[in-house]
Structure 1
Amino acid sequence: MSDDITTWPELAIALYDKLTGRGAEITYEFDQLDVYVPSKVDADPKSAKWTLNGTLKIRTRDAGAAS
């Protein structure tokens, strides 16, 4: 992976790019997830706290990948 990755989204993209084409699936599981949602795009916005009491699963699969 590249040394210029500086954020979590960049890391996730780089990892997915590396694994796709190999029949890979990336699964993220979160329990008791707290998300702070900003009220607007601003330098110092107020946030609302959303709490997920359960499991959120996010799966990514490349439909064109070889099995």
Structure 2
Amino acid sequence: MADSSSNFADIAASLLNKLSGGVELSCAFDQVELQVPNAQNPNAPAATWKLNGSVRIRTRGEQPSAPQLPASPSEPGA
């Protein structure tokens, strides 16, 4: 299994890099709980992050000509 934390970070950085030119990204969360492992101590219990609310990212500037999102590997059963 690939290291999902670095994959998520790479995808998030790439997405934020592509968001320019008056683009808006909105995410709403309703009682979402994430179990986040401790990278420094894999034997430690995972932290629980609770998300309720929304996140909105807006950008200003010129629209990029042809934004390309990174290709994601197909997942079994998808």
Same amino acid, percent of matched pairs = 28
- Compute the TM-score of the two structures, normalised by the length of structure 2: 0.50
- How large is the Cα RMSD of the aligned pairs? 2.8
Q: Are residues 25 and 38 of structure 1, via their aligned partners in 2, closer, same or farther at CA, if it must alter by over 3 Å?
A: same
Q: Does 1:66 align with 2:65?
A: no
For 2:47 and 2:18, the matched residues in 1 are separated by: 35
Alignment length (residue pairs): 57
For 2:49 and 2:17, the matched residues in 1 are separated by: 30
Provide structure 2 residue ranges, at least 5 long, that are not aligned to the other structure: 1-5, 63-78
C-alpha contact (below 8 Å) 1:36/1:47 kept by paired residues:
yes
- Compute the TM-score of the two structures, normalised by the length of structure 1: 0.55
The CA deviation at 1:12 is 1.7
Amino acid at match of 2:18: K
Quick check: 28-37 or 11-20, which moved more?
28-37
The CA deviation at 1:57 is 0.8
Higher strand proportion (structure 1 or 2): 1
The CA deviation at 1:38 is 5.6
Amino acid at match of 2:57: T
Q: Are residues 17 and 39 of structure 1, via their aligned partners in 2, closer, same or farther at CA, if it must alter by over 3 Å?
A: closer
Moved over 4 A (4+): 37-40
